[in-house]
Every structure is written in structure tokens, then in C-alpha cells.
Structure 1
Amino acid sequence: VTEHGRREILGLDVGDSEEEIFWRAFLTGLKKRGLGGVQLVISDQHAGLVAALTRVFQGSAHQRCRVHFIRNVLAHVPKAETEMVAAVFRTIFAQPDLGSMGKQWDKVRDDLAARYPKIGPLMDDAKSEVLAFAAFPR
């Protein structure tokens, strides 16, 4: 994302797998072409990608994509209730700051886990990854 808020595609590649070796080569290629100053990377939670990010862009933060994460959450909810659960989950991101988001995350987690027990551990494990962006200025 540019300083003007515009998204740009920096690279594109096709690989045989989601393994770290593929992602490391891709990210290293971006770095060799001049990409630097990376502060936050938002991606899905593929283990190979996350491992490559920590090796190639040391010191940058990683945020688990909240769209992908809510899909993981909704997989544990009856289809008829997915809209309600998604709406409740979105209340987390309507909060003004990281502290408030964290408190709302815990409330949503408790409320949802009472009805859908598998969601509790899922949200516990992902909290810091999904909320990583909130540590940065808006």
C-alpha cells in the first residue's frame, strides 16, 4: 500500500506448493528488486509463507488476514447462523484502538465459545495475529 493508500501489485509467481522454499525465493526476489522498510505483512496463515516472512523481513510484524480467519471461524457454525456470527465478529474491528479491540475480542470469544465450543481455542490462538495491524497508526 502506497503512502497515498493505493494498493499495488509488487510481484506475481506460480509455485508447485505453499512451502517455505517457494515463498522465501519469492520474497527474496522482491527484496532484491528494492522492497525495503516492510513494517507489516498481512497474509493468510500458510506455515511456509509465515516462516519465509520471518526469515526475509526480520523485524516486520505479521497479521493473519481477518477475512481468511473469519472463514475458519464460520466453518464451526451452522450455516443458518453464519451472518449473525460474522456480524458479532466485525464488532471487534469497530473499536477505536488495540486495547478496546482486545477487550471486544475476549467478549466475542466468550460469547461465541459458549454456543460453539471449537471457536474458543481457535480465537485464543489467533488473537495477536489477527489484531497485529492495530499496533500501527490508522
Structure 2
Amino acid sequence: MLYIDALVVKVRTSGTVVNRPAYLAVGVDVEGRKHVLGVWLGDGGEGAKFWLTVLTELKARGVADVLFVCCDGLKGLPDAIEATWPQASVQTCVVHLIRASTRYCSWKDRKKIAAALKPVYTALSVEAATDALDTFELEHGDRYPAIVALWRTSWERFIPFLAYPPIIRKIGYTTNLVESVNYQMRKASKTRGHFPDDDAALKLLRLIARDITTSRGGAAGTGTWGWKEALNALAIHFPDRLPI
């Protein structure tokens, strides 16, 4: 499993402090251990070429195959994933999709909209999810057409996890696994205000990533909840791709 997410750091560039996305990749190996695989700094306009370079680096460092990659609709990333690992299943983070949906509705309606979307992402099949989204559109589409459009546009990258049992869905539907790592990085970077340049930002973030991975009880280097049950299910669905 590979999870890719971003946090924002402040970096001084050409005499101005700007927000720069720092992309983080966290992997879960066949034994369920989490690993911070790398941190890369972007400018917000990254495309397939940038992501292909990042993923090719990961593959060259030993990530030979990936079953699932969960990410947040970053431009060009799905195409780069499929070029690097042709058999990988690319999954849009459902939690990010729900958060993006609530930005289009009023504060007082957020809980209602989140509840109305739940039958979509908890559906037993793609067909049931399609029916649930149609129902959502009938009930809320007139007032919130942008939410319906968001889900329709993201549909092909949203539905892959629906083909698998709940135990696999739980570990593959969201990048929340990365959040605890992101939290520690944000905490450490905010105390420094802004960084004088890109190299300083990357150096600190990578040192934090190293410490998180090697520390006892850290967010990485530890086991993944429910992994044994998930691994048994994965062995059934991917009998030729899991090492014995």
C-alpha cells in the first residue's frame, strides 16, 4: 500500500515568503509496517513528469510493486502511477473527497450533506454506489450541483476500492494513515516560521521523517491495525503478487 499526501511549508523565494507543498509518501509493506519513503518539495503546478520522476526514484530504491495507491487527485499523479506500476489500483482518498464536498455547502448543512453522502462510499457494490449518488442528486442536486459534479468527475478514481471486502477498504480508502506523520512535520516546521530556501525545508522535513520512522512508538515503523486480516484477503485477491 502506498499513500501520498501533502502539507504546506513556508519558504522564502526571491525575497518573498510563499507557501510550498511538501509531498509525503508513506508505504505499508507486506508485514504491515509503515515506512516514510520520501519527501519532495513542489510549487503547486506539478504534473505527470514531476510525479514520474518521484515514483521512478521510489521504484529504483526497491518499491518493486504496489497493490494500491491512495492519493488526493493530484494532477498527473494517477497517470504516473500507472506508468510506474501498471497493475496498481489508484484510489482517490474518500475522506478528502468528502471534505471537498462540504466546502460547497453552508455550515449548517455540512452534517446533513456528509450523512447523505455516506450511502455512496459505504455501498456494497459499484452499482449500489451509483444508485446512492443518483439519489443524492435527486435530493440535493438542485441546491448543491457542484457537489454532484465533483463526485461525477472523480467517479472512476473513487470506485476501485468498492471491488474489495470491508477489511481491505478500511486500509485503502483514505490517506489518513499519513496524517499522524504530517502532524509531526507541521508541528516541527511551524516553530521555525519560514525556511530561508528549499534545501533548508527539505533537510528538516527529511530529518523529521527519519526520526519518525526510527523512533519507538512513532507513527511509522509500527504495525497497521487489522493488517493480518487484510493480508489474508489480499492474498485471495492478489495470489501472484504477494511474496511468500
Q: Deviations over 1:73-108 (max 9, x none)?
A: 222211211121112212323333443333323322
Provide the aligned C-alpha RMSD in A.
2.3
Corresponding residue for 2:241?
none
Instruction: For residue 4 of structure 1, report the CA deviation from its aligned partner.
Output: 5.2
Query: Normalized against structure 1, the TM-score is what?
Result: 0.81
Corresponding residue for 1:130?
158
99 and 12 in structure 1: CA distance in 2 versus 1, 3 angstrom threshold: same
Q: Deviations over 1:10-67 (max 9, x none)?
A: 2222234423232111110111112123232111112132232232222322111112
Out of 144, 162, 165, the position equivalent to 1:116 is 144
**SS across alignment from 2:41:** coil
**SS across alignment from 1:84:** helix
6 and 84 in structure 1: CA distance in 2 versus 1, 3 angstrom threshold: farther
Contiguous gaps of at least 5 residues in structure 1? none
Question: Percent identical across equivalent pairs?
Answer: 28
110 and 9 in structure 1: CA distance in 2 versus 1, 3 angstrom threshold: farther
Deviant stretches of 4+, over 6 Å: none
Q: Assess if the C-alpha contact under 8 Å between 1:110 and 1:120 holds in 2.
A: no
82 and 5 in structure 1: CA distance in 2 versus 1, 3 angstrom threshold: farther
Corresponding residue for 1:102?
130
Q: Assess if the C-alpha contact under 8 Å between 1:105 and 1:127 holds in 2.
A: no
Q: Which has the greater radius of gyration?
A: 2
In structure 1, distance between residues paired with 2:29 and 2:130:
28
Query: Normalized against structure 2, the TM-score is what?
Result: 0.49
- Confirm or deny that 1:15 pairs with 2:36: no
Residues 35-114 of structure 1 mapped to structure 2, 5 A cutoff: 35-114=63-142
Q: Which structure has the higher relative contact order (CA within 8 Å, separation 6+)?
A: 2
Number of equivalent positions: 138
Contiguous gaps of at least 5 residues in structure 2? 1-27, 169-244
